[in-house]
Amino acid sequence: MDFSEEIKRIRQTSFLSQEALAKELNVSFATVNRLETGKTTPSYKTLKELNDFCKAKNIEFDAEKYM
C-alpha cells in the first residue's frame, strides 16, 4: 500500500474529512489533499504528527515504512 492509500485509510477509519484530519495533523487541507492524491510525499514533521495521531486513536500505522 502506498502512502496516498494509507493516509486515506487512516482518515476514513477515523471518520474524518480531509479538512478535519488536516487540523488534527496541524497541516493545511491542501497538504492532506495532495498526500491523498499522491501529488506530494509527507515531510518528516507530517509523518510524526500522523504517527502520534494513530497512536492516540489506536490505528495501526508504520511511519518508518515511509521515511
Question: What is the identity of the amino acid at 59?
Answer: I
Beta strands in the chain (DSSP E): none
Say whether pLDDT at 67 is over 90.
no
Q: Residue 16 in contact with residue 24, Cβ under 8 Å? A: yes
Enumerate residues 6+ apart whose C-beta is below 8 A from 2. 38
Residue 58: per-residue pLDDT = 97
Residue 45: per-residue pLDDT = 96
Within 10 angstroms of residue 56's Cβ, the number of other Cβ atoms is 9
Within 10 angstroms of residue 18's Cβ, the number of other Cβ atoms is 16
- Kindly report, residue by residue over 21-59, the tens digit of the pLDDT: 999 999 999 999 999 999 999 999 999 999 999 999 999
Residue keyed to cell 509523518 = 47
